[in-house]
Amino acid sequence: MQAKDRELLRKLPKTDLHVHLDGSVKPSTLVELAEAQGIALPAAGANGMRPYMSVGEECGSLVDYLSKFHWVSQVLHTEDALERAAFELAEQVAQHNVRYVEVRLGPQLHRGKGLTVDEVLLAAVRGLKRGEAAFGVKGRVIAACLRNHPVAANREVVEAAVRLRDRGVAAVDLAGPEAGYPPEQHKEAFAPAIRAGLPITIHAGEAAGAESVRGALLALGARRIGHGVRTKEDEATLELVKERRIPLEMCPVSNIQTKASPGWDRYPIREYVEQGLAVTVNTDNLTVSDTDMTKEYGLLMEKFGFTLQEIGQLIVNGVEAAFLDETEKSALRRQIVHELQGYGISAV
Ligand SMILES: [Zn+2]
């Protein structure tokens, strides 16, 4: 891809609806936090630590991918560290003209020094609010439950998210190992979100097949699906996703790295778009996947021949799928559609 095309892609206004806070911490920040907290790291400096935090092209498996969270997972147990990571995430996505970001984190994973679930979530919210003021990126938090956590721990997360919905928490998610932990097990944990009408998005169809997507929709009431790459393995599930107009939060670079898809030639994004699915494009983990929104869209142009017009439509799909109230969503839509028109892209 030529530099001028990349620069144009960078300038387009965008959303990122699926990005994990812990997978997006800058190596330099990990180094500083570890030093301040007295945690010994296996290598010196940001450059030394980068290979321990990013998978690169040769990622072997999901296990390899998940190992890259190891060091970061030790430093994000204070309000200051969480706030800083969220603020810097806004700063990083602003460089790619992301105008709206939904940042997810699993509060139970950040309680090693005694923070409550509410404190963890509010620290991230504060970082995003500061990020909005400094970089003009509107941000919301998604509180993630973990598949391998007990129902009670997940229910605590969902109840906190419901409590904090007017304070910057937009939705709840279910993440973690997909195989062996079917969505049905978590029905009880998500009940408070369903009762309160708080949006639910579920990681599904990444490490497990279409039955996981189906379960996320039918058992847990998911309004969006995280990844959903393997939805096409079952025709009826594909129809269900289409019928209910369920947005898929696809994360191309990550999906190839974790082997959710065996390779670019088998990655179904073009066929999902052509079948009329609400495909959105996201990063998953800025640092672990070593990616950004410009790179994601650039790869779609290179590997699948997406035109700028089609990229514009994917961007608008992201706006439509945002967990914002109608007033805020229309303001974001107006702004983004107008800016896209400035680049000769008319998306609806
Ligand atoms: Zn994810």
DSSP state of 231: G
**Centroid of ligand 1 to alpha carbon of 90 (angstroms):** 17
**Centroid of ligand 1 to alpha carbon of 122 (angstroms):** 20
Q: Determine the Cα–Cα distance for residues 28 and 21; give it in Å rounded to an integer.
A: 15
Q: Determine the Cα–Cα distance for residues 166 and 324; give it in Å rounded to an integer.
A: 11
Alpha carbon separation from 146 to 118, 178, 291 (Å, rounded): 17, 10, 24
Q: To which H or E segment does residue 140 belong? A: strand 138-146
Q: Catalytic one among 132, 156, 206, 296? A: 206
Closest CA to 178 of 17, 65, 287, 56: 65
Domains of the chain: 3-342 (3.20.20.140)
**Centroid of ligand 1 to alpha carbon of 16 (angstroms):** 12
**Centroid of ligand 1 to alpha carbon of 249 (angstroms):** 9
Q: Mind listing the pLDDT tens digit of every residue in the chain (348 residues)?
A: 788 899 999 999 999 999 999 999 999 999 999 999 999 999 999 999 999 999 977 766 778 898 999 999 999 999 999 999 999 999 999 999 999 999 999 999 999 999 999 999 999 999 999 999 999 999 999 999 999 999 999 999 999 999 999 999 999 999 988 778 888 889 999 999 999 999 999 999 887 889 999 999 999 999 999 999 999 999 999 999 999 999 999 999 999 999 889 999 999 999 999 999 999 999 999 999 999 999 999 999 999 999 999 999 999 999 999 999 999 999 999 999 999 999 999 977
Beginning with the edge strand found earlier in the chain, give each strand of the sheet holding 279-281 in spatial order. 14-20, 98-105, 138-146, 169-175, 200-204, 224-227, 248-250, 279-281
**Centroid of ligand 1 to alpha carbon of 195 (angstroms):** 25
Q: Determine the Cα–Cα distance for residues 323 and 131; give it in Å rounded to an integer.
A: 18
Catalytic: 206? Answer: yes
**Centroid of ligand 1 to alpha carbon of 344 (angstroms):** 32
